[in-house]
Structure 1
Amino acid sequence: MPVAPTRDTAAPAPDEAAAAADLAIARDVLATEAAALTALAGTLGETFAAAIALLAGIGGRVVVTGMGKSGHVARKITATLASTGTPALFVHPAEASHGDLGMIVPGDAVIALSNSGEAAELADIVSHVRRFALPLIAITSRAESTLARAADLVLLLPTAPEAGPIGMAPTTSTTMQMALGDAIAVALLARRGFTAADFGLFHPGGKLGARLRRVRDLMHTGEEVPLAAPGTRMDQAILLITAKHFGCLGVVDGGGHLLGVVTDGDLRRAMAPDLLAREVGQVMTPNPRVIGPERLAEDALHDMTALTPRVMSLFVVDGATRVLGIVHMHDLLRAGVA
């Protein structure tokens, strides 16, 4: 039987001189771009504040556009705006000239990106914006460019070299565009009082979505919840703790208000010949740690693991401490929170 040839998958030994050169270039790129971002931060002032006020006050969407590398950055800015509570969409300049101008309607505002400010493909969008008197914000590095002259507000990028030995590939300029877009999105987020819970509404998938789920989405309710009256004997209570598989028991009054909990630790501390004949109200820990149903799953994880003592379960209560359910660490693990 023929034998399949083997392949040496080991990485080649790096050439020390080449590796040193690579690292030097990489560090220079990062230093160049970092310096540009510092310079950009120093230029922000009244115009940036006016742009945020304008965008926060519109009734429609923020339309972001750009051509080439600026277009790729514009797509990312659009996504960041939309995910942080600012309705936004990207319109490709070339497609706009073939019907997509209809996507830009009264009530919208437009952010146009062009490092040179002379991207010919933006002409039809600019004309459309002027025709319908829509606000136009330009992000460009040239104050006297065609785009800047047409805009209501210009967010001017400071003069900075493109990174790398040839200094021509869009690197520093696109980094500044991206960072400025992030600054706009976060400023608008703060103006709207956008919270982590709001953020979760737009991020239901993956690890982030799991962390931002509500406790009510994960908690056990009804007959699954281990509850007993304070007069319940401990022999019955232990059977109930075992049957419900949460490792604890909630002690409630006649109105369902949580009075305390009985945990494995309480059982160890109360261990005595008469333990089984005692009542749970004599063994429980009063005023236990609880959580509300509208809290985030991430909050439940924090309260279980970061506070002392660490616990594996939390009873879920309303504002009057009536028990609504229980959430266990295993629920957080299954949901991908932990």
Structure 2
Amino acid sequence: MSQDLNKLEGELVAEIDGAKDLAALDAVRVSALGKKGRVSELMSKLGSLPPEERKTFGQTVNTLKGKISTALDERKATLETAALDERLKTERADVTLPVRPGSVADGRIHPVSQVLDEVIEIFADMGFRVAEGPDIETDEMNFDKLNIPADHPARQDHDTFYFSPKPDGSRLLLRTHTSPVQIRTMVSQKPPLRIIAPGRVYRCDSDQTHTPMFHQVEGLVIDEKTHMGHLKWVLQEFCKAFFEVDEVKMRFRASHFPFTEPSMEVDIGAEAIGKPGQWLEILGCGMVHPNVLRNCGLDPEKYQGFAFGVGLDRLTMLKYGIPDLRAFFSGDLTWLSHYGFSTLDVPTLGGGLSA
């Protein structure tokens, strides 16, 4: 038996040394150490041996198995080195070629995220800072302090997402606008205030131009001397910067919002997006209602200000020609690769917002 094992070892080592490439070496490995390999089959003979011979035979076979494994590893290392040397002889790298873009260029910034950065950049240049608040709000913050009456349609279940009532009858809700951020700012900080409040908002609505969740940015200025002229200038400068035009036609139409007085809807001439002769409604605005100031602990005889609100998704559709709002939330990578922005396209007023 010992002679047979020595003969087998010599044959296997010769086959290993004779393997010309990694594929041939792997075939030798399978034939020797595989499930049905010559070394593996030796272990199946243990059961037929007398008990006093089993231990010695098992140790001898394991020793053989170890030697063959070592020989395989050494030959594999030799063959891998030879294969690499052969590749280096034939392959060349042209270091003058441009660097491949890689994953950084493949990734895309969502158009709404890009537009949010553009809006923040524009208003930051005017001295506005970003304020944030929770998505889950109370009736008081979302409606009461904003001078919205109890019977207003916006407070009905068909328009607002409410949570289950608490034991005291009050209900939390998903905010229907980012105006509660303005309220929280006025309650916690003293004028002068100059903020924008971007974020997600939620309403029971869904079609080609409406979704249950969308994005909004609102602005607020409170001090002792702010007037309507300041509001019009801020909006005009914002529209010129955002649509990247030298001039923009604007018209202010009388409207009604419970939290502003007077209130206005703002339209811009569609020349800004290459459609002359049309008007586009883009936002609502007005002077902050005295009742809102009182609800926040501010004296309307001393302070006044203006507020405005605009849908970020709406701005995105107008500026970049996106026809269907629902695609914003579809998770379609093909759509995102077409409408998305490079991760390195950081909007700046100096370098271009949509460069």
* TM-score with structure 2 setting the length: 0.21
Which is strand-richer, 1 or 2? Answer: 2
* TM-score with structure 1 setting the length: 0.22
Q: Which has the larger radius of gyration?
A: 2
Structure with larger RCO (C-alpha < 8 A, sep 6+): 2
